Amino acid sequence: MPAIEESAVSDPTSDKPVSSPASHYIQTVAVQPELDIAPGFDSFSPATHRGSTVVFRNLAELRAYGERSTTYWRYGLHATPTSEALCQHLALLEGASHTLLLPSGLAAISLVYFALLRSGDDVLVPDNVYGPNRDHGEWLARDFGVTVRYYDPMIGSGIASLIQPNTRLIWMESPGSVTMEVPDSEAIVAAAKARGVLTAIDNTWSAGLYFRPFDMGIDISVQALTKYQSGGSDVLMGAVLTRDDALQARLKRTRMLMGWGVSADDCHLVLRSLPSLPVRLAAHDRGAREVAEWLHQRPEVVRVLHPALPDCPGHAHWRRDFSGASGLFAIILHDKYSREQVDAFVEALRLFAIGWSWGGAHSLAVPYHVPTMRPAGSWPPAGWRHAGELVRLYIGLEDTRDLIADLRQALEQQLGG
Ligand SMILES: *Cc1c(COP(=O)(O)O)cnc(C)c1O
């Protein structure tokens, strides 16, 4: 192998000091340029602060910050001015005092479990909970000695009879995933409070705007910011919010020990979408109610599970507790249609994409075979004569006239007659 000629190897240290006030060599200037950026660039957008290392002005500051673990601007993983701006903005919107950001909605759910439960504890979870939350509970039960029990989401004050001395936490989701039952949160919170049990709600459906968990006495709210807060179908992030300082301290410490953080770029994307959140949500609400009411008239559809329609279990709770609805609901098709026929209906839709994560501008459809998702046996609800296949619909920001025309052609083509 021929020796490499000396002159062919570039040596960045061999040149002369570049002309700068300190006359450093080029490699030092590459790392520590003396920049002169005028201060005072005030824009509506909070600055995107990327940073792992936080630079302290002296050792006294470093040591003081190191000892006071609650202090911000300590390490980029824990908080940056960008993540802090997002935390405060989200807390203002949902009426919380504290927000913690997590890499996904599911990580936010995990944080609640790991911060609040220990071996020997018991947790109650609604039978219609977001699927990965359910899987999580089973893992906790198997490997961490936490008992996880699933309750009928329409149980209401009957939850009192399920509370044991070791029950630490009751999860709620309103409305529940896929089947959309709206629980009697007031009754569940009252029963939990009477026994000193913590309550947590997955409040993703209302984006924290139409359901006010902290005013209802719920201790913790979880948001999948991936959905409406991002609004772009391009960010994964979650949040855990609370009004309680002591709970916040436990949640924050666990988040730190887990090493969970979020990128400032992702925070920027969510911050960029928040100003339009209320008007987007109102548009999804309007569109979804229009489509839901149209579907309600169709002979192929036996039930429309939209919290604002009387068909939906818990509709009265929605009327009592919510100030609006969002874009996600479900329909139950007549049980004369097979799974294959319902699949063909979903695949015949042209404007509804097939996909999970809603909250963006695009409409979505997914069929579900519910009986296999409800091991606690709370499906179908008592008194239902027909419970065919379920299709979950997410109404995006397209014109509803086009969405309805699309649904009509797919229903007529695949299920008509
Ligand atoms: C999507 C979703 C989550 C999880 O959010 P990811 O960011 O996708 O992990 C949690 N709860 C509900 C109700 C959701 O719809």
* pLDDT for residue 193: 98
* DSSP-based three-state secondary structure for 129: coil
* Residue partners of 160: CB distance under 8 A and separation at least 6: 191, 194, 195
Ligand 1 centroid–CA 171 distance in Å is: 14
- What residue has token string 């940056």? 80
Ligand 1 centroid–CA 229 distance in Å is: 12
Count other Cβ atoms within 10 Å, centred on residue 177: 23
pLDDT tens profile 145-189: 999 999 999 999 999 999 999 999 999 999 999 999 999 999 999
* pLDDT for residue 1: 46
* Entry field: residues in the chain: 417
User: What tokens does 265 get?
Assistant: 């770029």
- Among 222, 226, 368, name the best residue to mutate to test ligand 1's pocket (greatest count of ligand atoms within 8 A of Cβ): 226
Q: Atom 5 (ligand 1): residue with closest C-alpha?
A: 105
Residue 59: Cβ-neighbour burial (10 angstroms; 0-12, 13-18, 19+): exposed
Ligand 1 binding pocket includes 175 (Cβ within 6 Å): no
- Among 234, 357, 394, name the best residue to mutate to test ligand 1's pocket (greatest count of ligand atoms within 8 A of Cβ): 357
Q: Atom 8 (ligand 1): residue with closest C-alpha?
A: 105
Ligand 1 centroid–CA 305 distance in Å is: 19
Give 77-140 as a DSSP string. TT--HHHHHHHHHHHHHHT-SEEEEESSHHHHHHHHHHHH--TT-EEEEETT--HHHHHHHHHH
**What is the value of pTM for the model shown?**
0.92
Ligand 1 binding pocket includes 48 (Cβ within 6 Å): no
Q: Which amino acid is at 179?
A: T
**Can you list the positions of beta strands (E) in 55-138?**
98-102, 122-126
Ligand 1 centroid–CA 115 distance in Å is: 19
Ligand 1 binding pocket includes 411 (Cβ within 6 Å): no
Options 3.30.70.1230, 3.40.640.10, 3.30.70.3460, 1.10.150.170; CATH for 77-275 is 3.40.640.10
- Among 101, 102, 106, 260, name the best residue to mutate to test ligand 1's pocket (greatest count of ligand atoms within 8 A of Cβ): 106
DSSP state of 43: -
**Residue-range domain boundaries for the chain:** 12-41, 77-275, 277-415
User: What tokens does 267 get?
Assistant: 């925070």
Ligand 1 centroid–CA 328 distance in Å is: 13
Ligand 1 centroid–CA 202 distance in Å is: 9
Ligand 1 binding pocket includes 236 (Cβ within 6 Å): yes
Ligand 1 centroid–CA 146 distance in Å is: 23
Ligand 1 centroid–CA 204 distance in Å is: 7
Phi and psi, residue 344, nearest 5°: -65, -35
Can you tell me the distance from the alpha carbon of 15 to that of 31, in angstroms, rounded to the nearest whole number?
A: 16
* pLDDT for residue 142: 87
Atom of ligand 1 nearest to the CA of 357: 1
Q: Atom 15 (ligand 1): residue with closest C-alpha?
A: 204
C-alpha dihedral (181, 184, 186, 188), degrees to nearest 10: -100
Atom of ligand 1 nearest to the CA of 356: 1
**Is 3.40.228.10 the CATH number for 277-415?**
no
- What residue has token string 């979505």? 364
Ligand 1 centroid–CA 224 distance in Å is: 5
User: What tokens does 379 get?
Assistant: 């499906």
Q: Which amino acid is at 377?
A: G
- Among 125, 203, 227, 393, name the best residue to mutate to test ligand 1's pocket (greatest count of ligand atoms within 8 A of Cβ): 227
Ligand 1 binding pocket includes 130 (Cβ within 6 Å): yes
Strand partners, 366: 392
Report mean pLDDT in 10-residue bins for the chain, 417 residues. Answer: 47 58 78 84 89 90 68 83 94 96 97 96 96 87 92 96 98 96 98 98 97 98 98 97 97 95 97 95 98 97 96 96 98 95 98 96 96 82 82 98 98 88
DSSP state of 214: T
